[in-house]
Structure 1
Amino acid sequence: MFWVVIYIISDAVGATAKRVVQATLLQYPALTPDIRTYPFVNKVAELKPILADAVKEQAIVVVTFVTPALVDYATDFAQQHQLQLVDYMSPLMQVLGQHSPQPPLAQPGILHTINADYFKKVAALDFAVAHDDGQNLQTLTQADLVILGVSRTSKTPVSLYLAEQRLKVANIPLLPNNPLNDAVYHLPHTQIVGLTISPERLQKVRQTRMAALGLTQDNYYTDVASIKAELAYAHQVFAQLKVTPIDTTERSVEETAALILKQLT
C-alpha cells in the first residue's frame, strides 16, 4: 500500500481542485490518498501554518488561488522548502490574461456563486410550473409573488419570465363562480399582482385560442358579455385585496414583467 498525503488549499470552497485530484487519482489505483481540504484561506497568515504542516508530512500541495499574494507566497515557500506544489489556476489565468483586454476579477468562489445563482433560477422555474393556474395552493406562502387574473391575461408567461429573474411566482385564475382561496387574503398586498385587459382584446385572444384548438363556435368563454362579467369580478377581488391591476391590453410580457419588478422595488 502506497500512501500519499495531499493538501488542497483554496481561497474559496476548493471543490474544483478536489474534483480534479480525485479524477487524477483514478489513474493510480495503487495509491491510497489522504486528502486534507483547507477552504477559504484568504490571508498569508492563514496559509503559513498549513504549508508548514505540509512540509512536515511531505505532502503534495494543490492550490486554486486567484489572490496574487497567496499565489506568490505559496510558490516562493514551495521553492524554499522543496515542497511539491501544483497550482491549477495561475498558469491558465496567465494565458487567458494575454487575450483579455481587462485584468482578472481575482474574485474567490465565483464559480460557486454562479452555480448558486443557476440553481436559484431552476428552483424558481420549477416553482412557477408547479404553481401554475392555481395548483399547489398549500405552499402558496413560499411564493415571492402571486399573480391573479382571468383566463388569458398572460399570467403564465409573465410568471415564467419573472422566474427567469429568480422570483418564485404562483398564478391563480379568477373565476366568478369559484371563490378565491382564503390563503390569498392572508398575503401582504404588496406580494400580490393583478392583471387585467380590455374586454375586446380578451375576446380576440380567446377566439384565437379556441380556433387553435379547432373550436370556432362562440360560447361563454368568448362571449363579450361574459368576459365583461369576469373582468368586473376580477376588479372586485383586486379592490378587496387593495391591489391596483396592471392593464396588459397593449403590453408585451416583458413590459408587464418590468412594471411588476418596478413595483417590487
Structure 2
Amino acid sequence: MTKQQVKIYVISDSVGETAQRAIQATLLQYPAVEATIKIFPFVTEIDELEPIMREAAVEKALIAITLVDPKLVQWVTDFTSTHQMTLVDYMTPLMTKLAGLTQEQPIRKPGIRHAINQDYLKKVAAIDFAVAHDDGQQLQSFLKADLILLGVSRTAKTPVSLYLANQRLKVANLPLIPGTPLPEDLLSWPKEKLVGLTIDPKRLQSVRQTRMAGMGLAKANQYTDLEQIRAELQYADQLFSQLKIEPIDTTVRSVEETAAVILAARKAQSD
C-alpha cells in the first residue's frame, strides 16, 4: 500500500526536541502516513523565520513550533493564516492556560529544556568520573579531575567524592596506605586540586570496627588497631605537610559539611 506523504517543518528557539518527540509519537498512530520532518533549531529572529516559512509554503508543509517569544509566535500565526497553512503550536496554548490558572506569567526564556539536559549530562559525567576514579583507580587520568581527595581508609573520601559529583565536579580519590607506593609525580600535582582528609584516631577506630562488624569480620585486627591507625594518620599528615595542604578534619563533620568546606575553599581560591 502506498503511504500518504506529508512534510513537517519543526521550528524551535531551542533544539526542537519537544516537538519532534510529540510528532513521532503521533505518527505512530498513522501507519499509512509517511512524514518527512525538517528541524530548524535556535530560531530567535523574524529574519530567520521568514525564509523557512516561505520554503514551507512552497512545500505545503505542516508547521510545528516550540517558540516562547510572542512576537515570533504571532508572526508565524499570521503567516500560516495568510497562506492557508496548518500550524501546531506546542507551547502557547498550555502557557496561556497555566497563566490563567495560576496568575503567573511565563519567563519566556528560550532553550531552558536544553540547558537542563546539558546540566543533567554534566552531573552524570561527574558521577561516572568519581566512580571510575574511586580508591586510586585509573591514576593515569587523575589530573583530569577538578579535585583529588587524599586520606587514609574510612575518612569519607568516596561519599564526599560522590556528593561533590552531584555538584557537577569531577572528583578522584586516592587512599593513603603506609608502605604502598604513591604516584611518582604526586608532589608536582596542582595544589589547588588536592584536598586532604583526616580524622581523630579513636573515631576512625570506631568507624572501622563498625565496618568490620557489618561485613561479619572480627573487630580486632590490624585494620582496627589503634596504634596502627595512629601510624597511618601520622603518615598522611607527613604527606600533607610535604604537599603544603591543610587537611580537613572529618571527625565531627557529616559528608555534606565536609563537602561544604571544600566548596568554600574552592570558591575562595577562585575569587
Q: TM-score range by the shorter chain?
A: over 0.9
Between 1:228-237 and 1:15-24, the stretch displaced more is: 15-24
TM-score, scaled to structure 2: 0.92
Aligned to 1:92: 94
**Are 2:77 and 2:87, in contact at CA under 8 Å, matched by a contact in 1?**
yes
C-alpha separation between the residues in 1 aligned to 2:243 and 2:9? 59
- Match for residue 196 of structure 2? 194
Name the residue aligned to 2:74. Answer: 72
Corresponding residue number in structure 2 for 1:121 = 123
Structure 1 residue aligned with 2:241:
239
Q: Shift of residue 103 of structure 1? A: 1.6
Per-residue deviation, 1:183: 4.5
Q: Which residue of 2 aligns with 1:221?
A: 223
1:161 Cα deviation from its structure 2 partner: 0.7
Which of 16, 34, 53 is equivalent to 1:51?
Answer: 53
Instruction: Name whichever of 222-231 and 26-35 sits farther off.
Output: 26-35
* Match of residue 83 from structure 1: 85
Partner Cα distance (2:92, 2:152) in 1: 57
Identity over aligned pairs, percent: 58
SS at 2:223 equivalent = coil
Give the SS at the match of 1:221. Answer: helix
CA distance in 2, matches of 1:70, 1:16: 18
Describe the superposition over 1:23-51 as per-residue Cα deviations: whole angstroms up to 9, x where unpaired: 22232233332322111110112112221
1:161 matched to 2:163: yes
Partner of 1:203: 205
With 74-83 and 95-104 compared, the bigger mean Cα shift is at 95-104
Could you tell me how far apart the structure 1 residues matched to 2:100 and 2:187 are?
59
Q: Name the residue aligned to 1:133.
A: 135
Whichever residue aligns with residue 211 of structure 1, its letter is: A
Contact 2:126 / 2:169 at 8 angstroms: preserved in 1?
A: yes
1:190-219 Cα offsets, whole Å, 9 max, x none, are: 101000011121122122222222334422
Match of 1:230 in 2: 232
> How many pairs align?
265
CA–CA separation in structure 1 for the residues paired with 2:232 and 2:221: 14
- Deviation at 1:256? 0.4
Q: Which amino acid in the other structure matches residue 3 of structure 1?
A: Q
Q: Distance in 1 between matches of 2:34 and 2:185?
A: 57
Q: Distance in 1 between matches of 2:101 and 2:170?
A: 39
- The code of the aligned residue for 1:213 comes to M
Give the counterpart letter for 1:154 in structure 2. A
Contact 2:143 / 2:189 at 8 angstroms: preserved in 1?
yes
Q: What's the Cα RMSD here?
A: 1.6
Residue identity matched to 1:38: F
Q: Structure 1's 217 and 22: CA in aligned 2 closer, same or farther, altered over 3 A?
A: closer
**Partner secondary structure for residue 33 of structure 1:** strand
Matched with 1:31 is: 33
Which residue matches 2:180?
178
Per the TM alignment, residue 101 of structure 1 is displaced from its structure 2 partner at its CA by 4.6
Could you tell me how far apart the structure 2 residues matched to 1:130 and 1:32 are?
44
Contact in 1 for aligned 2:98/2:104 (Cα 8 Å): no
Deviation at 1:77, TM superposition (A): 1.6
Cα distance, 1:102–1:185 mapped onto 2, change above 3 Å: farther
